[in-house]
């Protein structure tokens, strides 16, 4: 269901600017790592990345902070939600990987702001749940494959 207020040229310009930022070389590499190699199987897996300095930590922080920042525009009403998620479904993928752990990360690591903007932005778009279901299914398959690969033969 589209929002009652149509998107503006300012919305389009902000989305184009966010797209330009996504093309930055280091962020692009971090996004590729997140998409293809990061699917934590437990909260401990996630904490290991969050709490250990190094390339994985840097990649993780670049991706999560970029998408939470981008979603802050939607969460606060600055950017049209439907228009944003039509070109930023990657934010849904990020949330699908971390949503299970978000409540515990917020309390155990004392970071109550952890991905709050992504969660709020998604809540503003009724059709987001349908797309999230697709990402959740893909994630389940990736985790199953990783668990099988980790088992001794």
What value does the mean pLDDT of the chain take?
A: 94
**DSSP code, position 24:** S
Q: What is the pTM of this model?
A: 0.90
pLDDT in tens, 91-135: 999 999 999 999 999 999 999 999 999 999 999 999 999 999 999
Is pLDDT at 67 greater than 70 in this prediction?
yes
How far is residue 26's CA from residue 22's CA, in Å, rounded to a whole number? 9
Mean pLDDT of 16-38: 97
pLDDT of residue 88: 94
CA angle 133, 137, 143 (to 5 degrees): 140
Exposure letters 77-99 (e unless 16+ CB within 10 A, then b): eebbbbbbbeebebbbbbbbbbb
In the chain, where the domains are located: 9-150
* Rounded mean pLDDT, 4-33: 96
**pLDDT on residue 153:** 66
């Amino acid at each position: 269901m589209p929002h009652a207020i149509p998107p503006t040229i300012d919305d389009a310009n902000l989305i184009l600017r966010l797209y330009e930022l996504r093309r930055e070389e280091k962020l692009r590499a971090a996004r590729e790592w997140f998409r293809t190699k990061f699917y934590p199987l437990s909260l401990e897996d996630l904490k290991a990345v969050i709490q250990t300095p190094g390339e994985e930590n840097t990649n993780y922080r670049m991706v999560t902070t970029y998408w939470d920042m981008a979603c802050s525009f939607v969460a606060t009403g600055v950017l049209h939600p439907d228009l944003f998620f039509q070109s930023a479904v990657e934010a849904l993928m990020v949330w699908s990987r971390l949503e299970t752990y978000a409540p515990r990360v917020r309390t155990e690591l004392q970071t109550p702001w952890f991905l709050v903007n992504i969660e709020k932005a998604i809540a503003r778009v009724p059709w987001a749940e349908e797309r999230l279901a697709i990402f959740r299914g893909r994630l389940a398959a990736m985790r199953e494959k990783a668990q099988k690969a980790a088992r001794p033969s």
